[in-house]
Amino acid sequence: MVPLRGVHVRQATPPLPDNSVVTDLDFDAFDALTFDCYGTLIDWEAGITVGLRRILDRHAVDATDDQLLEAFAAAESRLEARPYLPYRTILAAAARAVGQGLGIEVDDDEASEFGGSVGDWPAFEDSARSLKILRRRFKLGVLTNCDDDLFAASNRRLGVDFDWVVTAQQVGSYKPNPHNFETLRERLHGSGIAAARILHVAQSLYHDHVPAKRLGFHTVWIDRRHDRPGSGATLPAVVQPDATYPSMAAFAEAAARG
């Protein structure tokens, strides 16, 4: 295993909300559920590690999953904070940055392959079924850090027609930029959904919960990493969601019942 060079690897993660505690929500108070896609519905950590390992194997270099995901998180967040570039370009540049940290040069073909790999990333096994259950009670939307065509490829794995799809490509910026959430709020308001009637559901505390809570959204944390240390492919953040569930299946069961 080769240590990552020039990439800060966290020695400790700030404390996160206790995932064993689920705050009671009155689901009758909401008309619409909006979702983050990658990390929440699509298993992007699996897709990222497979794509990066495909590159590393060609160079006979190895690293742990956590090293790869944390290096990716650092690179992606840095790139997305700059003036807008398509997500394919963000991913390609992130692959180059991870490779540089491992002492290898990722070539154009390898970077481009990783940049277009989103459509190959698998859905979590509970995503499609959970969305179909939730669709019976709520209108559904997506707020995603992705290009329109890449999300369309992922959406085929989810099997649900969302009422609203707001991508980074449409907004011209990436979460956690508050403008993405403001655009989401305006889009739903145009359909007659008041901001107070929106419940945002996401895995990433950094990308979603911090900006959403600052703008007054109610949020649910799908803590996909509840049985693993660290924050994986997202930077760590400290924020208190309104409720926490370990999976989409657990959330859908509660929302359908409540």
Q: Give residue for tokens 């309104």.
A: 242
d(CA 38, CA 25): 24
Which residues are CB-contacts of 41 (< 8 A; sequence separation ≥ 6)? 35, 123, 124, 127, 131, 154, 158, 248
The reported pLDDT for the residue numbered 257 is: 87
Residue 242 bears catalytic tag:
no
* SS3 (DSSP) at 145: coil
Closest CA to 60 of 9, 101, 1: 1
Instruction: Write the single-letter amino acid at 195.
Output: A
pLDDT by residue, tens only, the chain of 258 residues: 433 433 333 333 333 333 334 457 999 999 999 999 999 999 999 999 999 999 999 999 989 999 999 999 999 999 999 999 999 999 999 999 999 999 999 999 999 999 999 999 999 999 999 999 999 999 999 999 999 999 999 999 999 999 999 999 999 999 999 999 999 999 999 999 999 999 999 999 999 999 999 999 999 999 999 999 999 999 999 999 999 999 999 999 999 986
d(CA 258, CA 248): 15
d(CA 51, CA 205): 24
Closest CA to 231 of 73, 18, 42, 25: 73
Q: Where in the chain is the domain with CATH 3.40.50.1000?
A: 27-43+122-257
Contact 45, 228 (CB under 8 A): no
DSSP class of residue 185?
H
* SS3 (DSSP) at 139: strand
The reported pLDDT for the residue numbered 22 is: 44
DSSP class of residue 79?
H
Instruction: Write the single-letter amino acid at 127.
Output: S
Point out the catalytic residue in the list 24, 31, 36, 208: 36
> Which CATH fold topology does 45-120 show?
DNA polymerase; domain 1 (1.10.150)
The reported pLDDT for the residue numbered 94 is: 98
CA atoms within 13 A on the CB side of 11: 0
Closest CA to 68 of 51, 82, 85, 83: 51
d(CA 27, CA 35): 16
The reported pLDDT for the residue numbered 23 is: 58
Task: Tokens for 245, please give them.
Answer: 């569930």
Domain 27-43+122-257 has CATH 3.40.50.1000: yes
Which residues are CB-contacts of 201 (< 8 A; sequence separation ≥ 6)? 33, 34, 35, 36, 40, 219, 220, 222, 251
> Phi, psi (5° rounding) for residue 212?
-65, -45
Q: Where in the chain is the domain with CATH 1.10.150.750?
A: 45-120
Contact 146, 169 (CB under 8 A): yes
